[in-house]
Structure 1
Amino acid sequence: MTPYLLVGGGAAVGAIARYDMTKLIKRYALGRFPVATLIINLLAALILGILASHFGTGVDSYLLLGTGFCGGLSTFSTMSYETLILLQEKYNVLALLYLVLSLVAGLICVALGLIIGRTF
């Protein structure tokens, strides 16, 4: 039961953090580009890389912070939905840019997180 509590507790905090960060970022965002989700997902990827490198993936700390918090913070489904909306509204270039940035920058953030985690 403990792993479920760790993952669930971390996910709850991550989801609340995502909600608050989204509101904050959207206050300053301009245009149709879904910058809030992009920033939050990239931050989650960076944090996950640090955690995986620092703690490994089989410990309670990783369940709480990696699987739980980062899983609750990041959101693939919202990225998918926002991309679909951009495509439906004929913002095809923005949709493609969003997908490429999300995937490529996400991989870079995880790799950077792994390096940071090994360094400190």
Structure 2
Amino acid sequence: MHELGLVGAAAGLGALVRYAFSYLNIIFKRLRFPIGTYIINILGSFLIGFIFAKYGSHNASYAIFATGFCGGLTTFSTYNFELFELIEKGDYRHFAEYFVLTYGLGFVAVLIGLYLAGK
């Protein structure tokens, strides 16, 4: 039960960090690109790769940091809603960039995290 509480606390902390980064979307509104969500998702991908390489996936450290913190940090639902908004606005260029960059660089970020952690 102790681990469950730590996962929950870590998820809460990750959500607070994500909330702070959401202000980048407002600050850089002229970009018409959800930069805060994008940065968080790439950072979360990197951290998950790094944490997996350091701890594996079947222990408390992975559960707390990857499932908890990174789970609270990254946001698939917001990402998909922002993609929908871009399509709704007819901004197909930014839709394509956001889609390709998030998935492409997200995957690369996982690989970099694995590499830097020595896996």
The bucket for the TM-score relative to the shorter chain is: over 0.9
Structure 1: unaligned runs, 5 residues or longer? none
CA distance in 1, matches of 2:76, 2:26: 22
CA distance in 2, matches of 1:59, 1:6: 13
Which residues of 2 match residues 21-60 of structure 1 at below 5 A? 21-23=21-23, 25-26=24-25, 28-29=27-28, 30-60=30-60
Paired residue total: 118
Question: What's the CA shift for 1:77?
Answer: 0.5
User: What does residue 20 of structure 1 align with?
Assistant: 20
TM-score, with structure 2 as normaliser: 0.93
Q: Is the 8 A contact 1:6 1:64 kept in 2?
A: yes
Q: Over residues 51-92 of structure 1, what are the superposed CA-to-partner deviations in whole Å (9 max), with x where a residue is unaligned?
A: 000011111111111100001000010000000000000001
Q: Over residues 6-45 of structure 1, what are the superposed CA-to-partner deviations in whole Å (9 max), with x where a residue is unaligned?
A: 221111000011101222x235423211111111100011
Residue 118 of structure 1 aligns to a residue whose secondary structure is: coil
Structure 2: unaligned runs, 5 residues or longer? none
Q: Is the 8 A contact 1:6 1:60 kept in 2?
A: no
Structure 1 runs of 4+ aligned residues shifted over 3 Å read none
Between the aligned residues of both structures, percent identity stands at 35
Q: Is the 8 A contact 2:44 2:74 kept in 1?
A: yes
